[in-house]
Structure 1
Amino acid sequence: MRIVASAGGAVALALAVVPMTPVQAASLNPDNGNDRIACSTSALTNAIDGVLGADGGTIELARDCRYVLTSALPTIDEPVTLRGGKGTSIERSVAAGTPQFRIFEVGGSAGFLTLDDLTVKNGDGAGDGGAVLVRTGRTLLLKSATLTRNRAAGNGGAVANDGGRVILRDSKVEKNSAGVDGGGIHTSGGVVSLDSSAVSQNRATADGGGVASADGYVTATHSSVDKNEADGGGGVDNDGTADLQSTAVTGNRAGGDGGGIRNTGTLIVGRSSVNKNTAANGGGIHNTGLLWIGRSVVKENVADADGGGLWNDNEATVESSDITGNETRDAGSQGGGVYNENGAPGGNTVLTDSTVTKNQASVGGGIFRASGSVTLNRTRVKENVPDNCSPSGTVAGCVG
C-alpha cells in the first residue's frame, strides 16, 4: 500500500476495488407504487419470502407505516429492494418480552439488499450488527435511508460488514450503539462507501464511535461524521485504508486517543475539516500509521494531554492545510497544534505550504517535537501560545 501525492495534491491509492454490480430484478409491484403491500408485519414477511423465491425483486412498502417486528426477517440471499416513502419504517418492537434480534442479515450466494427511502430502527443484535449484518461478498445499499437507535452487543451498532460492501447515498446512521467497536458502522475487511451521508451521535464502548475499520477500505465524499463517542477514535477508528474527501469530522469525543480520527493504517484527508473534537491525546487526529492531509483544516480541537490538533508517531504529511486554534489543557501538556512523538518507529511530520497558527499548550503551543523529525517547507508557524516550537531549536525554520 502506498500514498502517491502529485504536485496539485491529488491522491491515488494502489488498491483495487471491485465495482458494484447493479441489481437486476423483477419488481413485485410493476406499477411502482400503486400496488403497495399492506401495512402489516405478515405482509412484509410474505412479500420478502415471495421475492426470494422468485430470485429477487422490489417490494413497495406502504407509506406512513410502521412495520413493527417481533422476530427477525428472512435472510436476504437474493437481490431485494425495499422501497418505502414518507413515514415508512421497519423496526423491532420495544414491548416487554420482545426477544433480542437484528433486523436484517444479507448472506447466501447472491444477497444484495437495497433500503430505499425508509427508516430501520430498534434492532438489538446479540452479536455483530444491530440493524444489518452483511456477510462476505454480499452488499447493502442505503438510498435516502436512516438507521437509528439500533444496538449490538458486539461490533457495529447499526451495520456490521463482514467482508462485504456497504454503500450509503444521501443516508443517515445516527444514535446507534455497540458493545465493542463501531457505534454506527463496523467493517472487517470489505468496503464501506459514504456519499453525501451522515454518521452522527453514535457510541461505541471500545473504538470507533462513528465508524470502525479493521483492515477494511472506507471512503467518504461530501459527508459528515459528527458528535460520536468512543474510547478510541471518537469519530473514526481506522486500521485499514480510509479516504475522506470533502468531509467534515466534527464534535466527536474519545476518552483515550483520537477525538476525531485515530489512524493505525493508511489515512487520506483531502479538502476536508477535522474540527472541535476532543480526546486525551490527539484531539483532532491521532496517527501511528501513514497519514496524508491536503487542502484541509484541523481546527479548534482539544486534547487533555498532548497533540491538540495532530499527534503523530509515524509518517504524517501535511500539504496546503491549516492547523489552527487547537489546544491542550492539562498542566505540562505539549503540542497545541502538532505533537511529534518519540516512540518506535518515531514520528516524521512534514508540513508543506501550510500554516500552524493560534494554537495553545503548556509547552510547544504550535509544535512540540519530542523526537523524530519535523520538517517545514514554506510553512508558517506563528501566533501560538506560549511559543511556536519547542524544545527551542529542534524544528528548523521555526522561530520563537
Structure 2
Amino acid sequence: MRFVARAGGAVALALAVVPVAPAQAASPSTDGNNNRIACNTEALKNAIDNANTKRGGTIDLAHDCRYVLTGPDLLGGANGLPFITTPITLHGGKGTVIERSTAPGTAQFRIFEVAGPAGFLTLDDLTVRNGHTTGDGGAVLVDPGRTLLLRSVTLTNNRADGSGGAVQSNDGRVILHSSKVDGNTAGDTGDGGGIAASGGVLSIDSSTVTRNRAGADGGGIAAGDALVTISRSNVDRNRAGAEGGGIASSGHLTLRSSHVDRNTAAEGGGISNLGTARIEHSSVIGNVASGNGGGVQNDGTMTISHGSINGNTSTQEEGGGIHNTGDVWIARSLIKDNVADDEGGGLWNNGSATAESSDIIGNRAGTTGGGVHNVDGTTVLTDSTVVKNEAADSGGGIFEASGEVTLNRTRVKENQPDNCRPVGAVAGCLD
C-alpha cells in the first residue's frame, strides 16, 4: 500500500487530545530521525509522516498523556493514524495511551496498519485501546511480510467485527515481549479474540493473553498455518464460541513453560489443534468445553512433555482432559482431576495415543472410561499409572470400546467401580 504524504500540520480533522498532565514541549531530534513530541495527537500524526518520509525513526511520546483519535486519518484509510510504511518505533512511558475516542457517535476505525513497502512498527511501553473496525484487527492490522513488535505494551478493549480483536496478521510477523492482550473481542463469526495470525510468525514471550472473546475459534489466539511460539506466558480466561477457548491452531504451535488456564469453548476449552503442536513444561488447567475436549481437542499431531492437564471439564460430551482423534504422545506428564459428562474423563482416544512415564489420576467420567476411553483407536501406556479414576457405569480405569489398548509396565489400580472393562479386553489389567 502506497503512503501519501500529509499536506500540512493543520490538515488533521476529527482529532482531539486529552492530556492527563500539562503537555510536554517538543525537544530537538538527536539524529534527524528521532523526535520527541508533545501531548498532541496532530503532532503524533505529523511525526509518523515525517518518519515515513525519512525511511524510519524513533518517536518519543509524552508521559501521562492520552492521544485520543476521534476519526479515521485523512490519509490513513480505515485507520486512526497514518500507515506505517517504514521501520518506526513509538516509545511511551508512564501513562502513555493511544486510543480511539469512546464518545457517542465516534466512527469505527482501527488504530494502526503496518503496510508496505517496508512497514515495521515497534510499540514500546504504552497502551493502545478502544480501536473498533468493521474488518479485521481492532488495534493493529499487519499486512503480508510486515512486522509488529510489542514491548511492555497493553492492548485492551479493542474490537474487530471480523477477526483479530486486537491484532490481525496476514502472513506477517508479530512479536510480543512482556506485554498484555486483555479484554479484546472478535466478531460473531470472527477468530482470534486477542490475536489472529493467518500465516506468518507469531512469537509471544513473558506476556499475558487474557479475557478476550471470539465468536468462532481462538478466544485468545487463532493461528491458521502460522508458526506460533509461546514461552513463559499465560493464556487465561478467554472464550470462544466454537473451538479453542485459549488457543486454536492449524499450523505449528510450540507452548513452552506457559499456562493455558480457565478458558472456555464449545470444543477444546483450552487448546484446539488441527496442525502440529508441542507442549513442554506447561499446564492446561481448569478449562471448560461444552462439547469435546475440556482441556485439549487434538485432531492433528501433538506432543506433551513434562506437562499438566488438570481439572478440565467437558460438560456435555467426551474427553475431560484430552479428546484425541489424531496422534498424541505424552511423556512425564500428569493428567489429573479432569471430568467428562460422557466418556473418557482423562483421555478419550479415537486415534493414536502413547503415554510414557505419565500418571492418569483422579479423573471422572459420567458413563465409561474414567481414566481412559479407547474407541477404534490405539492406546499404548508404558511405565505409567492409571489410579483412582472413576466411571459412573464401568471401566473406571480403562474402557476399551474397540481398537487396542496395550500396557507396558503400567499399573492400573484403585479405580472405581473397576479397573478395566470389558473383562479381558485389556491384557495385563487386573480387577
For 1:49, what is the secondary structure of its paired residue?
A: helix
Q: Does 1:357 align with 2:365?
A: no
The residue aligned with 2:374 is 369
> What is the CA-CA distance between 1:140 and the residue it aligns to?
0.1
Q: Is 1:102 the counterpart of 2:110 in the alignment?
A: yes
Does residue 302 in structure 1 map to residue 302 in structure 2? Answer: no
Q: Which residue of 1 aligns with 2:11?
A: none
Q: 1:84 aligns with which of 85, 92, 114?
A: 92
Unaligned runs of 5+ in 1: 1-26, 342-346
- Larger CA Rg, structure 1 vs 2: 2
Identity of aligned residues (%): 52
Distance 1:44 1:367, change over 3 A: same
2:185·2:212 contact (CA, 8 Å) conserved in 1?
yes
Partners of 2:210 and 2:227 in 1: CA distance: 20
Once the two structures are superposed, the pairs formed by residues 176-325 of structure 1 within 5 Å of their partners are 176-179=184-187, 180-231=190-241, 232-254=243-265, 256-279=266-289, 280-304=291-315, 305-325=317-337
Cα separation, 2, equivalents of 1:381 and 1:336? 12
Residues paired across the two proteins, number: 364
44 and 37 in structure 1: CA distance in 2 versus 1, 3 angstrom threshold: same
Distance 2:230 2:52 in 1: 32
**Alpha-carbon distance between aligned partners in 1 of 2:57 and 2:321, rounded to the nearest angstrom:** 49
TM (norm. structure 2) is: 0.82
CA deviation string 1:189-241 (max 9, x = no partner): 00000010110000000000000011111100000100000021100001111
How far the C-alpha of 1:28 sits from its partner, in A, is: 7.7
Please state whether the residue corresponding to 1:144 is helix, strand or coil. Answer: strand
Work out the CA distance in 2 between the residues paired with 1:397 and 1:318: 21
What letter matches 2:65 in structure 1? C
Instruction: Determine if contact 1:28/1:59 at 8 Å carries over to the other structure.
Output: no
* Distance in 2, Cα, partners of 1:397 & 1:81: 63
User: How far apart are 1:109 and its partner, in Å?
Assistant: 1.4
The answer to whether the Cα contact below 8 Å between 2:35 and 2:58 also exists between their aligned partners in 1 is no
Cα displacement (A) at 1:364: 0.8
Once the two structures are superposed, the pairs formed by residues 127-206 of structure 1 within 5 Å of their partners are 127-179=135-187, 180-206=190-216
Deviations, residues 237-258 of structure 1 (Å, cap 9, x unaligned):
011110000010000000x210
Q: Is contact 2:35-2:47 (8 Å) kept?
A: no
Cα deviations across residues 121-149 of structure 1 (Å, max 9, x unaligned)?
Answer: 00011111000000111000000000000
Q: Secondary structure at the match of 1:97?
A: coil
Q: Stretches of 4+ moved more than 3 A in 1?
A: 393-400
1:204–1:44 distance in 2 versus 1, CA, 3 Å: same
Which residue among 323, 335, 344 is the counterpart of 1:335?
344
Question: Which segment drifts farther, 74-83 or 378-387?
Answer: 378-387
Return the alpha-carbon distance in structure 2 between the equivalents of residues 313 and 396 of structure 1. 23
Cα offset, 1:43, TM superposition = 1.0
| CA displacement at 1:396 relative to structure 2 | 4.5
Name the aligned partner's letter for residue 389 of structure 1: I
The structure-2 alpha-carbon separation of the partners of 1:89 and 1:259, relative to structure 1 and needing over 3 Å to count, comes to: same
Deviation per CA, 1:292-311, whole angstroms, max 9, x where unpaired?
00011000000021000000
Q: Kindly provide the CA deviation profile for residues 345-373 of structure 1, in whole angstroms up to 9, marking residues without a partner as x.
A: xx110001101000011211100111211
In the alignment, which residue of structure 2 is the partner of 1:74? 82
Look up the match of 1:388: 397
| Distance (whole Å) between structure 2 residues aligned to residue 395 and residue 132 of structure 1 | 54
8 Å contact from structure 2 (residues 28, 36) kept in 1? no
Alpha carbons of structure 1 residues 229 and 396: separation in structure 2 relative to 1, 3 Å: farther
CA distance in 2, matches of 1:161, 1:398: 50
Structure 1 letter corresponding to 2:43: A
State the 1:394 CA deviation. Answer: 4.3
C-alpha separation between the residues in 1 aligned to 2:278 and 2:28?
42
5+ unaligned residues in a row in structure 2: which ranges? 1-26, 73-79, 401-420
Q: Distance in 2 between matches of 1:202 and 1:398?
A: 44
How far residue 30 of structure 1 moved from its aligned partner, in angstroms, is 2.6
Query: SS where residue 167 of structure 1 aligns?
Result: strand
SS in 1 for 2:117: coil
Q: Equivalents in 1 of 2:131, 2:28: separation in Å?
A: 26
SS in 1 for 2:365: coil
Cα distance in 1 for partners of 2:377, 2:309 equals 22
- Please give the root-mean-square deviation of Cα atoms over the aligned residues, in Å: 1.6
